[in-house]
Amino acid sequence: MPRFSLMMFVALISLLSIASISPAAAAEFRAAAAKTEITPADLVIMWGYADRSGPATGTHDPLYAKILLLDDGVTRLAWVTLDLGRPFGSESMNLVRDRVQKSASVTHVCFSASHTHSGPSIDEFYEDGKRPAWETVALDKIAAAIESAATQLEPALIGTEAGTVFIGHNRRYVQADGKVKMLWRNETKIPTHPLDPRVGVIRIDSLSGKTLAVVINYACHPVVFGPDNLQYSADFPGAAAEVVEGSFGADCVCLYLQGAPGDINPYYDKMKLDEGAESLMRETGQQLGDEALRVAKTIMPTAPKIPEIQISLETHRFKPRYDTAQLLEQLRTRGVRPEFVERYRVHLATPMDCVVTTVLINRDIALMGMPGEPFVEFGLNFRDRIPAGSSYFAGYCNGFHGYFPTIRAAVEGGYGAEGITARVEVGAGEAMVDMAIIRLLNMQGLLKAEP
């Protein structure tokens, strides 16, 4: 073959080889983590209990926003976990999203809350247009932390595993006659059903072996502290994270990803301060943290075969389950304080636009988020039905629309399954799980695009 023709042939083969490399194969999985304290400097009304005697009086332990930033060269996802009762309102979350999209090329920001009942109160929107000062400060800190993490992105390894721990119970006891009795505390640890004792763990390391982040996914209400506690606290999720961070060192950020705890309470529920609430909160967090740490230590993170981050944020508007005026009138006749009736009025006026969050990391790690308080069966059902290697379910994600009971629970009744706390139409939870499953099947290429 003439020299010129041979050179052209080699060049052509090289170009064809380069063209055959898929974007996923050429991508690189990178990660970074950060955290910032968001404890209010102000002593404001607290979240979670209507029978508190007043606003916060101080801080028991700090509240944090923790950020896990993932990047595949095309998509940059920031997952923000919050030591709060619920995520911020849509307008507040969008302020952060818009800022970091411009400043740090972050394509998606997802927010999820631990649901601690010892954090500051949050509203979906503020009718006077004035966001509380502490919230404005927190949003700025979170955006700055994401921007800082973006400058620290580095090639990363990832691994998953799961353990088991029993620190809670199903608080809805269905009696022989079909009626529900609320089992708020369970200090004798009587077995209950359904329950999800799985401790899902994700560990992300740098190429040098330094652990950047550990994610704990578990389903249980953070309500060891009761209404007589007037100090800010992350409750047991904060104590669990301290265990992990204390072992891996200051460079590791431990994020608590709340699962589906709509009907799951800790054994020691709403303990009074003089009943040892502080020590029981620590004990509960220590148990969870010890198991999460044990699991994390067994994980050997590896480089993903296909570095790829896929995400779907799909909004579905549901109908109200009840007549709003009737619900508010019931509250008034029950003697609920006017300021709480007003808060519920604002809550009930919020359109029920539920964002279903679906994420697939490296075609192997699947995550679904639901914007409220899902009953435990939704998390179990989601994990049972998806074909991904590892799966995680997050409640209180990208919004808050109260409780999502199963259809069966809505029939049986009980707290969280009926009344003002469960304002979205029956069947909404099932519909959102189905929606997420379909999106994940599409992401994995298991649903054919052509007949």
pLDDT tens-digit map of 232-270: 999 999 999 999 999 999 899 999 999 999 999 999 999
Residue that is written with structure tokens 């379910």 in the block: 393
Q: What does the CA dihedral 131, 133, 137, 143 come to, rounded to 10 degrees?
A: 0
Round the CA-based radius of gyration of the chain to a whole number and report it: 23
Rounded to 5 degrees, φ, ψ at 372 are 170, -150
| Residue range of the domain that includes 291 | 24-443
Evaluate whether residue 7 is within a structural domain: no
pLDDT, residue 18, reads 40
Q: What does the CA dihedral 281, 287, 288, 294 come to, rounded to 10 degrees?
A: 150
Nearest-5° Cα angle at 285, 284 to 287:
65
Q: In terms of pLDDT, which residue wins out, 11 or 300?
A: 300
Tokens found for residue 259? 């699962």
* Overall residue count recorded for the chain in this entry: 451
Domain total of the chain: 1
pLDDT, residue 26, reads 61
- 345 has a pLDDT exceeding 50: yes
pLDDT, residue 368, reads 98
| Distance (Å, whole) CA 382 – CA 267 | 25
Evaluate whether residue 258 is within a structural domain: yes
pLDDT, residue 17, reads 43
pLDDT, residue 413, reads 95
Evaluate whether residue 142 is within a structural domain: yes
| Distance (Å, whole) CA 286 – CA 284 | 5
Helix 324-333 and helix 338-349, axial crossing angle in degrees, nearest 10? 170
Evaluate whether residue 87 is within a structural domain: yes
pLDDT, residue 449, reads 73
Evaluate whether residue 337 is within a structural domain: yes
* 86 C-beta neighbours (distance < 10 Å), count: 28
| Distance (Å, whole) CA 404 – CA 425 | 9
Tokens found for residue 376? 């435990």
Q: Over 76-105, what HEC string results?
A: EEEEEEECCCCCCCHHHHHHHHHHHHHHHC
Evaluate whether residue 17 is within a structural domain: no
Evaluate whether residue 10 is within a structural domain: no
Average pLDDT on 286-297 reads 98
Evaluate whether residue 9 is within a structural domain: no
pLDDT tens-digit map of 115-168: 999 999 999 888 777 899 999 999 999 999 999 999 999 999 999 999 999 999
Q: Write the CB contacts of 386 (distance below 8 Å, at least 6 apart in sequence).
A: 366, 437, 440
Q: Write the CB contacts of 148 (distance below 8 Å, at least 6 apart in sequence).
A: 34
Q: What value does the mean pLDDT of the chain take?
A: 92
Average pLDDT on 58-87 reads 98
Tokens found for residue 145? 């932390």
- 351 has a pLDDT exceeding 90: no
pLDDT tens-digit map of 196-221: 999 999 999 999 999 999 999 999 99
Residue that is written with structure tokens 């988020």 in the block: 369
| Predicted TM-score of the model (pTM) | 0.92
| Distance (Å, whole) CA 111 – CA 83 | 11
